[in-house]
Every structure is written in structure tokens, then in C-alpha cells.
Amino acid sequence: MKQLIALAALLLFAIFPGPPLQASTRTDSLSIKIGQMLMIGFRGMTVADAPEIVGDIRSRHIGGVVLFDYDVPLKSPTRNIANREQLSKLTTGLQELSEIPLFIAIDQEGGKVNRLKASKGFPASVSAAYLGMLDNPDSTSSAARKTAATMKSMCINMNLAPVLDLNVNPDNPVIGRLGRSYSADPAIVARHAMLTAAAFREEGIIPVFKHFPGHGSSKTDTHKDFTDVTGSWSEKELEPYRVMTEAGYDDAVMTAHVFNRKLDSRFPATLSKKVLDDRLRQKLGFGGVILSDDMQMQAIAAHYELDEAIRLAVEAGVDILLFGNNTAYDPDIAEKATSILHRLVKEGTISKTRIDRSYHRIMKLKERFIYYCK
């Protein structure tokens, strides 16, 4: 195992030429810095179909978008992805709108969590559970390379994957039942996640490890309501993240909205300084970008007002606030979020220094990865 992880780490942290962002020398306005902290979902198959996201990119300087193939609130297969030609035009059109290259993200885990479906002309994919059962490094690397090459050809530069959750509860409605976990064994999860991330990086795709500090033991779905893992979670669920950080990984990690009294008796992980700053940053040593899971999921939205949720998440250490607009749909969510962040800074609740820290992490990640796709 150590040899495989060492090989994966060697591939994972190869140097990629970055675009001319020059993050260390930019002196951007507070509006740009705040905008870069937002990733927004939207409706529309073309740029012309999506005036709200055009305004968010041009006027609010949002740092990223997230794409879906299905609109959950409308129960409609019409969202952002129809076929290869349409998707390529959409992503290139979005990038052309932005002064700073966008993160363009999807959840392309494989298997059931699969935005680029074979029915729409994309290569078929397999689940993490299938790859973990095979436990064959070549199979995992091959599957990840195919996914990454497909994404690159569509000018998508961030995959909200691989999943580091352990399959400790096979009946978990949002992890185990969907085949999203490689294994209940943290060594197998770490091995295949590292190989997957290495293959993504070879194609210039940003991997995002998720869901910290572990969603695999849950009995309920954070999309739908409050999810308490206090009685089921264990420290071994942190093991894949320990392997990740010891190998030097510093790209991106996504939070879980799970509540775990063992780690924080007040707040779910996304809103918890004890989980994100104390555990992930200080104890595990992660220095990269922290993305929230979708802030509109009911585990957060049903229990916290928007301004409180944003304040707590940023205070906890979140760098990018993700609003997928696919649990609930709010075309004004980016405007609301930027207004809240500006107000929190003006009041002194959140310091400009805190905004700067997130901005520099985001820009460093963009500098390493994002290229202009034609």
C-alpha cells in the first residue's frame, strides 16, 4: 500500500503550467475577492438562456459555476447538459464572460452520481464501489483518466470527486446505497482516491476530496434534513484525509453538513471552526481550498438564516460557498450572498484579512490549474 500511495503522490503533485493569473501580484477590489468566494448553479443550456449567471459573472465576479444534468425542483431533465456540442459551447461561453478564469465544476463520480451520461453521448462510467471491490490500481487509474479526458474536452476543470467517505453504513441513503464509497476500509479508500486524483491532475482537472469529516456512517440525507452522525462516526473516517495531507495534497476539500457532537456540540461541520480550522487545517495540516457542500441543502437552509449560515461558514474556514441552486432555486442567490458578505465586512464581523486569505487560496489553485479552453 505504501508503494502505491507513494507512486500516486508522485503523480499527484507533479507541476502543471498555470495560466497568467499572477495571483500573488494582483491587487483586486473587495468586490472581486468576495465574488471569487462564490460558486453558483443556474438554469440554461446556453449563455443566452442564463441572464442571471451572466450578471453574476460580469457584475458580481463570481469565481465558479456548477453544472447539473437534471433540475431537481422542476423534476426536469433540462438543466445545463444535453450533449457534447451544446455543453462545450456553454462552458467556453461562460469562460469568455469572466475576467478571471472560472472554476467550472460538476459531480462526475461515476456510476449513479454521473452528470455526463452515456445517454447524452458521453463515455459510460463505473462507480467508486465497483472500483473499490476490484481493488485494482490500473482499473481505477484508467477509469479516472477517461473521466478526466472527457471533462477536459468539455472545458470543465473541476470534479467534485473523489469521495473519501467510508462505506461503514451500507444502507446510508446518500453514500452506501448509491455506490459512492470505495470501501469501508480507509486504506482502500485512500489508495483509490489518491490514484483518481493523480489521474485527474494529469489532465489538468482539479480533484475535490469530500465530504469532510466523513458522511459514510449517516442514516439520513443532508439534502433533506439535519443529519446527526454522533453515534455512528469514528476517528478512522479521518484516515484518508490524513494520508492525503501527509502526501502534500493542497488542492481542495468539500465539507459535509453532518452534525457530530464528538467534534462540535453546537454546529454541523460546514459551520464549525472546530471541525474545519482546528481539525482539517491545524491538526491535519491542509492548506488548500475548502468548499462548502451546497448551502441550500436542508441540513443548513432549514436551520439557519442565510446571513447566519454564510457568517458561520466563513468564520469556520470555508473559502468557497457553493450554492447549487438545485435543491431550491433562487436566481438572486449570488446577489444576496455578495451583499451579505459586504455587510459583514463593513460591520467588522468578518475582517478584510479573512477575505484575503480565502482569495489567495482560490487564486493559487486557479493559477496551478486553469487554462483557457478553446
Q: Alpha-carbon dihedral of residues 128, 2, 248, 103, nearest 10 degrees?
A: -20
Q: Is residue 192 part of a domain?
A: yes
Q: Residue 192: which of 350, 217, 184, 121 has the closest Cα?
A: 184
- HSE-CB of 191 using CA atoms within 13 angstroms: 21
Residue 91 lies in a domain: yes
Residue 280 pLDDT:
98
| CATH number for 204 | 3.20.20.300
Give me the average pLDDT of each 10-residue run along the chain (374 residues): 51 46 64 98 97 97 98 96 97 96 97 96 97 97 98 97 97 95 98 97 96 94 85 96 95 97 96 98 98 96 97 98 97 98 98 97 93 62
Which amino acid does the sequence have at 313? A
The answer to whether residues 181 and 129 touch, using CB atoms and an 8 Å cutoff, is yes
In a domain, 21, yes or no: no
Give the range of the structural domain holding residue 313, as residue numbers without chain letter: 2-13+30-369
> Which grid coordinates are listed for 78?
433540462
Give first-to-last CA distance, the chain, whole Å.
Answer: 39
Q: Is residue 23 in a domain?
A: no
Backbone angles phi, psi at 259, to 5 degrees: -100, 130
Number of domains in the chain: 1
> Letter for the amino acid at 173?
P
Residues classed as catalytic: 223, 293
Q: Quote the strand ranges of 125-184, DSSP E.
A: 158-159
Domain membership flag for residue 20:
no
Secondary structure letter of residue 19 according to DSSP: P
Q: Answer yes or no: is 245 within a domain.
A: yes
Distance, in Å, from the CA atom of 304 to the CA atom of 312, rounded to the nearest integer, reads 10
Residue at 265 is within a domain: yes
Element of type H or E holding 207: strand 206-207
pTM, to two decimals: 0.94
Q: Quick check: is 108 in a domain?
A: yes
Cα separation of 304 and 98, whole Å?
Answer: 31
